[in-house]
C-alpha cells in the first residue's frame, strides 16, 4: 500500500518504457511540484487500516507546508537510501525528509526475508538517473535479473539471537509448535523481533548513516524518529531485560547518528500498551500522538524558524 498526501497524476515516457515502480512516479511528482517535505515509511504509518495515516495527521498539523508521503509495508533503511540517492541527484531538493526507524526492521526475521529486499525497486530507483541503466532495466527485470541474493533457504537457516546467545534459526520461529498458547507465540515473536543485540556494522545501520551523510552534503534537513514499541507488553512477557535491550539498541542508533551531526526523536517508550494493536502498530489515537510529536519537533527546529 502506498499513500500520497500531495497527489498529481502525470505520464512519463521513460517511466513507462522501463516499467518503473509506481513509487518512482510518485517521487517524481513530489519533486516536480516542489513539496516542502517528503515522508518515507513502513506499515507503522498506516496499519491497522485507517483513513488517517500518520502523514495525513501530520499534514493537518502543518497546513502551510506541503508533504509528500511515500510508504509501503516492510520498507526499510536500504530502500530509503535508494530514494535519498535519487533525490540528491534531482534538480529539486525538499526542505526536509522524515524517516521512521523501526527497531523490528533490524531483526533477522525482517532484514533477511527474501520478499522484503525490494531488489528491483532499489536497483531501478538507485540508478534511475543513469540513461544506460534505464535502457536495459526492463529486459533485466523481465528475465529476473533483480532477484534477491537472499534465498528462502538462506533466510530459514539464519541464526536468531537473544543478545549474544543463539536461540534457534528463522526456520524454528517460522514453524513454532501449533499447540503453543497465544502467550507463548507472542513471547517468542517479541524475542525474535526485538531481543537481538544491534551494532554499528549492521547493514541497515550503515544505510541509515549513509542517508545522514548524503542529505547533509546536499543541505537537505533530516528527521529520523524511532517508532514507539509496545514496551509494556514486552516487559510483561520478558521482564526488565526487554526494556534494557531496547535501550541498548536505541543507544547504538542514536550514537551512530550523533556522530553524523543528526539528533534522533526517540519515541520508543512514548506510548502505553493501550495505544497499540500489535507490536509496533498503533491505534488511531497512537498515530495522532506520533504526528503531534513529529510536528513539535519540526516546528521547534531551525528549519522553520
Low-confidence ranges of the chain (pLDDT < 50): 1-4, 7-18, 136, 139-140, 142-143, 305
Q: Is residue 156 situated within a structural domain?
A: no
The domain of 22 spans: 13-149+199-304
pLDDT confidence of residue 50: 66
CB 231 within 8 A of CB 272: no
DSSP single-letter state for residue 37: E
pLDDT confidence of residue 1: 43
Return the SS3 of 134. helix
* Distance of alpha carbon 214 from the chain centroid: 17
- Give the predicted TM-score (pTM) of the model: 0.89
Counting the structural domains of the chain, the total is 1
Q: Is residue 170 situated within a structural domain?
A: no
Q: Is residue 101 situated within a structural domain?
A: yes
The model's pLDDT over 85-124, given as tens digits with 9 standing for 90+, comes to 999 999 999 999 999 999 999 999 999 999 999 988 887 7
Alpha-carbon gap, residue 170 to 93, rounded angstroms: 40
Q: Is residue 169 situated within a structural domain?
A: no
Q: Is residue 168 situated within a structural domain?
A: no
Q: Is residue 238 situated within a structural domain?
A: yes
pLDDT confidence of residue 15: 45
Q: Is residue 135 situated within a structural domain?
A: yes
Domain CATH code at residue 133? 3.40.50.1110
- Mention every residue, 6+ apart, whose C-beta is less than 8 A from residue 297: 223, 225, 265
Q: Give the CA distances from residue 165 to residues 160, 192, 226, 249, 271, in Å, rounded to whole numbers and listed in that order.
A: 8, 12, 25, 16, 29
pLDDT confidence of residue 171: 98
Alpha-carbon gap, residue 110 to 75, rounded angstroms: 10
Q: Is residue 290 situated within a structural domain?
A: yes
CB 107 within 8 A of CB 196: yes
**C-alpha cell of 175?**
514453524
pLDDT confidence of residue 129: 61
pLDDT confidence of residue 205: 98
Amino acid at each position: 500500500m502506498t499513500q500520497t498526501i500531495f497527489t498529481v497524476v502525470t505520464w512519463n515516457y521513460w517511466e513507462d518504457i522501463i516499467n518503473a515502480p509506481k513509487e518512482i512516479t510518485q517521487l517524481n511528482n513530489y519533486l516536480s511540484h516542489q513539496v516542502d517535505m517528503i515522508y518515507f515509511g513502513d506499515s507503522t504509518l498506516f496499519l491497522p487500516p485507517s483513513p488517517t495515516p500518520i502523514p495525513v495527521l501530520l499534514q493537518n498539523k502543518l497546513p502551510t507546508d506541503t508533504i509528500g508521503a511515500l510508504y509501503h509495508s516492510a520498507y526499510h533503511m536500504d530502500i530509503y537510501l535508494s530514494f535519498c540517492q535519487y533525490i540528491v541527484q534531482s534538480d529539486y531538493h525538499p526542505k526536509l525528509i522524515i524517516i521512521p526507524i523501526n527497531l523490528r526492521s533490524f531483526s533477522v526475521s525482517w532484514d533477511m526475508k527474501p520478499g522484503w529486499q525490494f531488489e528491483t525497486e532499489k536497483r531501478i530507483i538507485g540508478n534511475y538517473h543513469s540513461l544506460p541503466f534505464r535502457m536495459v532495466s526492463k529486459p533485466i527485470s523481465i528475465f529476473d535479473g533483480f532477484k534477491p541474493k537472499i534465498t528462502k533457504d538462506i533466510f530459514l537457516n539464519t541464526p536468531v539471537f537473544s543478545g549474544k546467545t543463539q536461540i534457534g534459526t528463522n526456520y524454528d520461529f517460522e514453524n513454532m509448535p501449533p499447540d503453543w498458547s497465544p502467550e507463548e507465540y507472542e513471547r517468542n515473536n517479541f524475542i525474535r523481533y526485538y531481543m537481538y543485540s544491534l551494532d554499528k556494522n549492521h547493514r541497515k545501520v550503515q544505510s541509515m548513516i549513509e542517508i545522514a551523510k548524503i542529505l547533509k552534503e546536499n543541505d537537505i534537513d533530516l528527521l529520523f524518529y524511532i517508532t514507539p514499541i509496545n514496551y509494556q507488553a514486552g516487559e510483561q512477557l520478558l521482564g526488565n531485560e526487554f526494556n534494557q535491550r531496547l535501550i541498548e539498541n536505541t543507544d547504538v542508533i542514536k550514537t551512530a547518528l550523533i556522530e553524523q551531526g543528526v539528533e534522533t526523536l526517540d519515541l520508543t517508550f512514548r506510548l502505553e500498551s493501550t495505544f497499540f494493536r500489535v507490536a509496533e502498530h498503533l491505534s488511531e489515537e497512537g498515530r495522532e500522538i506520533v504526528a503531534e510529536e513529529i510536528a513539535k519537533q519540526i516546528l521547534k527546529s531551525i528549519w522553520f524558524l
